[in-house]
Chain A
């Protein structure tokens, strides 16, 4: 038990990643508000980023910028951070796109609740076909 706890404390970024991931998934799947879904997605994405970035971290390492004086220093792995920058770009575009979709839906239905939208869509269709008749 103690060993497990120690492991947990040493690897706390991973633990947080898992927790964040769970929160994100839960939010996406259980909330019917579109904004909350979007937030869940972003939280989930952050979990992935943390996982990646934490993997590059080395205890006592220095930032990976070339210091001419100190060749012996242990550098933090910069690759995961660089990669996650790309990931963040992707996540930004996803968010922007999703927001524009949400706005589109809000303009149409006046709500951001997924279930309500589904219900209203069915009603709208009914009215439409009645009109046509």
Chain B
């Protein structure tokens, strides 16, 4: 039995969440059971991923290739459990377990209805399963299918609120993501036409032999894949769907979207670029420079766009745009430190952004307020939530002892190695800007009382006239959430009158036990990655070495 499981671990890690997820709607009436099954699936996935990682790390020699259905490589679908795969698998499972824990007991209020909740969980587990699949699969078309499953699950998660705003965001996301899928499938089509293979290894060999004869076709394939996955993972100019989608989803969904889904597409892109096209071809077509450039632009522009956001979740969503830039930057450095740094940063950002979205969600659902200026003094009412938010913010900024610091350390080391000084400066500038958009939140949460917030609000209102008339376009509407803060101020004042009469901290308090546990788990991950990065960075380095020296 154990041997049976151990031999089939790569596929079991994928199908266990998928199939458990699919049967959930049947048990929709008994929500406790559904939640239990979700946590069970996550726990099984985590154990499986951990065990798989252990087996891969201790394994000597070649990768562990699993042939689905027993069909050998050019015909069958392969799953490759290499360092990169188990690294990302571990990230997915470690981060999604707390997110699943966080949803226990309070998702129903947010989504509404047992059936909707069960379907939310179905989508959640489908997403987790497909992300695991993306990490492991070694087949181009299989990647496409998994990407599609993930995309549809994401859209479903975004629209699970049921509000028209969410539906609109989900529709825009769906359209752009499908556009991206078409690009990806066309890119895969080109690769297939050129090489006749869908297996990554064989396609790669084919490309190596033939690319000089058909440089244009290869170039088209690369650009289709690059733009397709770039659109899905929201690299800067292609990010326009992200803020709406991630801010209008329920917070656990935002966490899993920002923390994991975006990362899955990046891992796919990484595999396409490094495994299929290979480092030589990347250099030949200057893909590495494009990645670095895109990353740098994203860091700066994303951070700058995050600054004026007053809606907390929107600010976090724009921050994701910026942080995606770091990972792209690392992908483009073509250096073992840079690549390992990017992978580590990916892991750390997955944990940090999930923690941020979850704690922000807890604050928002406890107070009913979405704007940063309205969250004044929340630190005293919800100390644990606000502490987690603060710790995660510091991690994102890159303070030592938190995981973001280690990621930035290796990214900077990589960019210094590659001989270019500009990326280094951009990385530092990015963390300073990150402090600029996260510190005000911390300040408001801990160091301001509601009365003062009102004053500040009023002052800002006097400075900025209402600019509602100028806004309109749905995709680019950056500040539409905060346009009407004038009316909001009045409302806040009313709220405060009520507050002063009732003792403070009456309703607003830390969320339930499962939620606290989830937040604490994520914070622990951030700290452990920051203080004892040894094994993780070693795995990331191994993965980077495998990617770079594959040829």
Contact = CB atoms under 8 A, between A and B. Distances in A.
* Direct contact between the two chains A and B in their complex (CB within 8 A): yes
11 contacts: A21-B182, A45-B181, A55-B193, A86-B141, A90-B148, A94-B148, A97-B152, A97-B174, A98-B175, A105-B171, A114-B474
Contact of B178 (A17, A45, A101, A125): A45
Contacts of A102: 171
Interface string B467-493: 010011110010010011001101100
A106 to B, nearest CB: 10
A132 B487 contact: yes
Interface string B481-512: 00110011011000000000000000000000
Interface of A: 17, 21, 24-25, 28, 34, 37-38, 41, 44-45, 47-48, 51-52, 55, 79-80, 83, 86-87, 90, 93-94, 97-98, 101-102, 104-105, 108-109, 114-115, 117-119, 121-122, 125-126, 129-130, 132-133
Given A94-B152, A117-B168, A80 B178 contact: no
B474 A118 contact: yes
Chain B CB within 10 Å — which of A47, A119, A125 has the most? A125
B171 A98 contact: yes
A97 B156 contact: yes
B419 interface: no
B496 to A, nearest CB: 15
Nearest to B175: A37
A57 B179 CA distance: 25
B410 to A, nearest CB: 37
B170 A83 contact: no
B171 A101 contact: yes
Chain B CB within 10 Å — which of A34, A45, A90, A108 has the most? A90
Given A52-B185, A101-B159, A132-B491, A80 B473 contact: no
A61 to B, nearest CB: 15
A127 to B, nearest CB: 10
A101 B160 CA distance: 11
Given A25-B179, A86-B145, A47 B474 contact: no
A41 B490 CA distance: 45
B179 to A, nearest CB: 6
B22 to A, nearest CB: 14
Contact of A122 (B167, B471, B491): B471
Interface residues of B, number: 41
Interface of B: 141, 144-145, 148, 152, 155-156, 159, 162, 164-165, 167-168, 170-171, 174-175, 178-179, 181-182, 185-186, 189-190, 192-193, 198, 468, 471-474, 477, 480, 483-484, 487-488, 490-491
Nearest to A84: B185
Contacts of A117: 168, 474
Given A105-B171, A133-B491, A47 B182 contact: yes
Contacts of A86: 141, 145
B140 to A, nearest CB: 10
A121 B471 CA distance: 12
Chain A CB within 10 Å — which of B164, B472, B480 has the most? B164
B488 A129 contact: yes
A94 B149 CA distance: 10
Given A118-B473, A130-B487, A52 B192 contact: yes
Interface of B is mostly: helix
A109 B335 CA distance: 52
Nearest to A93: B152
Nearest to B489: A133
Interface of A is mostly: helix
A48 to B, nearest CB: 4
Nearest to A24: B182
Contacts of B483: 122
Contacts of A52: 185, 189, 192
Contacts of A79: 198
A55 B192 CA distance: 8
A48 B182 contact: yes
Contacts of B477: 118
A129 B484 contact: yes
Contact of A101 (B167, B193, B473): B167
B453 to A, nearest CB: 18
Minimum-distance CB pairs A-B, first 4: A118-B474, A108-B164, A129-B487, A48-B185
Contacts of B178: 41, 44-45, 94
Given A45-B178, A48-B185, A105-B164, 6 more contacts: A21-B182, A52-B189, A90-B181, A118-B477, A119-B472, A121-B165
A43 to B, nearest CB: 10
Contacts of A126: 468, 484
B185 A125 contact: no
B189 A55 contact: yes
B490 A133 contact: yes
A109 B480 CA distance: 18
Given A41-B178, A55-B192, A47 B167 contact: no
Contacts of B189: 48, 51-52, 55
A41 B179 contact: yes
B524 to A, nearest CB: 37
B472 A118 contact: yes
A125 B484 contact: yes
A130 B491 CA distance: 10
Given A24-B182, A55-B193, A129-B488, A94 B174 contact: yes
A70 B72 CA distance: 26
Contact of A105 (B167, B185, B192, B473): B167
Contacts of A97: 152, 155-156, 174
Contact of B179 (A28, A51, A90, A132): A28
A49 to B, nearest CB: 8
Contacts of B167: 101, 104-105, 108
B49 to A, nearest CB: 26
Contacts of B162: 104
A39 B181 CA distance: 15
Nearest to A98: B174
B186 A51 contact: yes
A44 B177 CA distance: 12
Contacts of B165: 121
Contact of B182 (A34, A44, A83, A118): A44
